[in-house]
Structure 1
Amino acid sequence: MTASISPPPSKRRKLVQTSGESVADLSTYRLRIFSHNVNGISPYLQPSIASFFKPNGNNEVPKASLRDFLRRQDWPTVLCLQEVKIHPEDRATIRAVEKAVSAPSDSVEPDYVSHVCLPSDAHNARGFGRKIYGVACIIRRDFFESHVEKLRLVDWDQEGRFLVVETKALGPVPRLAIFCVYAVNGTDFPYKDSTGRVTGTRHDRKLIVHELLAAECRALEHGGFSIVIAGDINIARSAFDGFPRLRTSPEQHSINRVDFEKKFFASTENLSLGDEDSTADQKGEPPTPGLGMIDSFRHLHPDKRGYTYYPRTKVFGASADRVDMIVVSRSLKDCLRAAGMLETAAERGPSDHVPLYVELEFREA
C-alpha cells in the first residue's frame, strides 16, 4: 500500500497570480526539473540573500540558500533533493525547509511548497543519529495547485529514498509520475529484513530495488503515466561517465551497472538495433525487454563528458563521476529540450555533488 502525503486543499496557500493565463490555457508549457544531492540540508536553510537588503539588514552573503538557488535558476518547476539527512522526528528542521523555500507574503516572486520522505526503517537506517538518507521535493506552488494530484511514498522502501509526485493531465502536459530518488549505494555491508534478519548485502538490496522500481514504473506507464526519475542513481553508466576512469572494482559494481541498464534503458528494439540510449553489455545474451527509458543528458549530448559527483577529498575536477541522472519515459523523448549539470565548485556548495537539470516542452497536438 502506498502512503499519500499530499496536504488537503484547505491547507494549501494560494499563489498570487503573476500572469493572466492559467497553465491550462497555454498551448505550450515548459517543465524544468532540477535535482541535487545536497549531502545534508542544514547548510541550505540560511536566509535568502535578498533578506539582507532590507532596511537595517546585514550585508553578509550566506554560504547557501535554497531560495537563492531557485532564484538563480529562474524558478524551476520542481527541485528534487537527496540525502537531506533530517532526523525523522525533527519537525523543526522540516518546518525550516518549508520556510526556506516559501516566498515572503509581500513578494511577487514564485512561491514553493516542500515535502520530505525520511527513513522509518528500524534496522537499516540507524547511523549518524538517524540523520541519514532522506529525500525532498520542492515544487513551485502554481504547478502544485494546478497539476499535482498527490505525493506519495512507495511501500517497498523504508529508508527514505523515494518520493513520488503524481500529476493529472492538464493542457498540453500529460499525466506524469516524477520520482525523487536516492538509490541504494551497493556495498558489502549487511541488509536486514523487517525482522532484523540479515538477508544479504547492500549490493543485493540494490538489485532488488532496481527490480521494484522498474515494476512500479512499468505499472504506472500501463496506467497512462509518463515517468521522470530524478536523483542520485549511484551508478555511472559507462567509461564515458567516469574520470579519470570508471569504477569497476569490486566486480559487483559492474554487475549492478549492467542490471540497471537492462531494466531501465534496454528494450527488445534497442538491444537488437544498438540504440544510443542503451549501453548494456549483451555478450550474446538474448534480448531482455526493459523499460526503454531515456537518459536525458546522454540522449541530448551523446559525445559530451559531464559529471555530477565531485569528491571533496580532491581538487575540484581531479576526479568525477556521472552518478546522478534524470531519466524519462520514451514517450517523453520528443519533449526533451535541454539537460545538463551545473559543474562548478560554487554550485556544488557544501555538498559533494553538483545540481543537474532537464527541460521538457509540451505542445498541444
Structure 2
Amino acid sequence: MSVSPPPLKRRRLSNSKTDVGATVSVRTSTIEPLRIYSWNVNGIQPFIQKPITSFFQPKKSSPKQAKAETKATASFRDFLRRHKWPTILCLQEVKISPDDEATKLAVQKAVKSAKAEEPDYEAHFCLPSDPHNARGFGRKVYGVCTILRKDFATKHKHSVRTVDWDLEGRIQVVETEDPKLSIWNIYAVNGTDNPYKDSKTGAITGTRHDRKLAVHKHMLEEAKALEARGYGVIIAGDLNIARSRLDGHPNLRTFPQQHVVNRMDFNKKFFEADDGLEAIDTYRHIHGDEKGYTYYPRGRKFGSSCDRVDLIMCSKSLEGSLTDAGVLASEKERGPSDHVPLFATFDLEEHRPAETEAEEVQ
C-alpha cells in the first residue's frame, strides 16, 4: 500500500515576471482556513446537564446532591475554546434517541456562546430511524451530531442533509457552494457476524459485515457523483477501519478473516484503485509513516492497545489546500470517551471559484 508523502512546499510567486500593461485576475476576498475536528464521544450525556425532569423520581435527594448530579462532567465550550474555535466539530456515536428533544436542546445550549466576544455554534443531528437495525437501548444507539460555527454558516451558503441509503443515523453532510464543498460526518458500520435486516421489511439480508461493504459502495458512488459536480469531498469520522500495520498497536486486527476483507475493500475503493476515489488520508499525508492512534479502550493502560480507526480523508482536488492534520492523543483529550479527537486544516483560497476583478499591471 502506498502512503502519500508530505505535501510539497508551494513555490513563491512574488518574483515571477508579468508584462507591463498585462491584465491579471486578483481575488477580491479571502476565506478563513477551514478547521475540522472529529471525535467519537461514545455518548453525549457527560457533556450536557440532565434535564430537570430526570430528577422526578420517588427517591428523594438533597439540593446539594441534585446540583452535583446536574453538572456536566465535560464541556464542549471548553473543548472548542481550547482548540481555538474550530469551524466544524463532527461528533459520532452520540447515542441520542430520535424522540429525545430535551437532550437535543441541551446540546444546543452546551455549544452556545455566553460571551459576546466568543464564536457561537449550532448543532445538527442525524439520529437512527431504522425500525429493524437500530432498536436497542431505547434507540439510544449510533447517531452523529455536527457542530457548526455560526459565522461560517452565515457567510457561506450552506445546507445540511442526510443520505437516503442510511437510516441508522450514521451520516450527515454539510455542503457549501462558495467554495463547493461536501463535508461528511460519519460513524461507519462496525462489521460483525450479527444479522443485518432490510430496513423496510425486516427480512435478514446478510451480516453486519455485508452491510459494511455495501456502505463502502454507497459512499464511493455518492462521493464520485459529488466530485463530478465540482465538489471537493471531505469525509471525517469513525470509519471503523485500521488501514495498515502502522495503524494498530501492538498488532493490527486480522481475525476473523472478514476484517481483513473489509480493510482491503476500503483501501481499494478509497485510496488504491484507479476507478476509486483516490482520496487523501490527511494524517498520513502530513505525517508519513509516523504512528498515531485514535481508539484507546478504557480499562487498559493508555497506549497499551490502540488503533487508528478514525480518519479525515479528502478528494485529491483538495490535496494542495491541506495544510495540517493531527491526532490529539492524550488521556485529557480522550475525556469520557474511548476515542481521542483528530483534526485537519484546509486553506481553501486555491479551491474556491472566487470572484475576481481585472487589474492592470503598471
TM range (shorter): 0.7 to 0.9
User: Measured at CA, do residues 148 and 165 of structure 1 come closer, stay the same or move farther in structure 2, by a change above 3 Å?
Assistant: farther
CA radius of gyration, larger in: 2
Aligned counterparts of 1:340 and 1:32: Cα–Cα separation in 2? 11
Partner of 1:176: 181
220, 225, 231: which is aligned to 1:219? 225
285, 299, 302: which is aligned to 1:313? 299
Tell me by how many angstroms 1:62 deviates.
5.6
Contact 1:175 1:225 in 2 (8 A): yes
108, 123, 126: which is aligned to 1:114? 123
Partner of 1:27: 30
Identical amino acids, percent of aligned pairs: 58
Partner of 1:7: none
74, 78, 82: which is aligned to 2:92? 82
User: Measured at CA, do residues 316 and 33 of structure 1 come closer, stay the same or move farther in structure 2, by a change above 3 Å?
Assistant: same
Tell me by how many angstroms 1:259 deviates.
0.4
Tell me by how many angstroms 1:148 deviates.
4.1
Aligned counterparts of 1:340 and 1:350: Cα–Cα separation in 2? 20
90, 96, 108: which is aligned to 1:98? 108
Partner of 2:10: none
Letter in 2 for 1:361: D
SS in 1 for 2:301: coil
Give ranges in structure 2 of 5+ residues lacking alignment: 1-26, 51-67, 355-362
Letter in 1 for 2:330: T
Aligned counterparts of 1:325 and 1:46: Cα–Cα separation in 2? 30
Aligned counterparts of 2:206 and 2:30: Cα–Cα separation in 1? 51
Tell me by how many angstroms 1:26 deviates.
3.8
Letter in 2 for 1:131: K
123, 134, 140: which is aligned to 2:143? 134
Aligned counterparts of 1:26 and 1:322: Cα–Cα separation in 2? 38
Contact 1:46 1:65 in 2 (8 A): no
Q: What CA deviation, in whole Å up to 9, does each residue of 1:138-159 have, x standing for no partner?
A: 0000111111421001000000
Provide the aligned length of Structure 1 versus Structure 2.
307
TM-score of the pair, normalised by structure 1: 0.81
| Equivalence map 1:1-365=2 (5 Å) | 26-46=29-49, 63-104=73-114, 106-169=115-178, 174-193=179-198, 194-268=200-274, 289-363=275-349
Q: What CA deviation, in whole Å up to 9, does each residue of 1:189-213 have, x standing for no partner?
A: 0000020100000000000000001
Letter in 1 for 2:190: N
SS in 1 for 2:219: helix
Query: What is the Cα-based RMSD across aligned positions, in Å?
Result: 1.9
SS in 1 for 2:348: strand
Partner of 1:285: none
Letter in 2 for 1:191: Y
Give the 4+ runs in structure 1 shifted more than 4 A. Answer: none
Aligned counterparts of 2:83 and 2:113: Cα–Cα separation in 1? 15
Q: What CA deviation, in whole Å up to 9, does each residue of 1:82-102 have, x standing for no partner?
A: 000001100000011111101
Aligned counterparts of 2:28 and 2:43: Cα–Cα separation in 1? 39
Give ranges in structure 1 of 5+ residues lacking alignment: 1-23, 48-57, 269-288
User: Measured at CA, do residues 233 and 80 of structure 1 come closer, stay the same or move farther in structure 2, by a change above 3 Å?
Assistant: same
Tell me by how many angstroms 1:46 deviates.
4.6
Q: What CA deviation, in whole Å up to 9, does each residue of 1:158-187 have, x standing for no partner?
A: 000000001011xxxx20000000000000
Contact 1:35 1:79 in 2 (8 A): yes
Aligned counterparts of 1:148 and 1:180: Cα–Cα separation in 2? 18
Tell me by how many angstroms 1:290 deviates.
0.6
Greater relative contact order (CA < 8 Å, ≥ 6 in sequence): 2
SS in 2 for 1:257: helix
Letter in 2 for 1:322: R
User: Measured at CA, do residues 25 and 76 of structure 1 come closer, stay the same or move farther in structure 2, by a change above 3 Å?
Assistant: farther
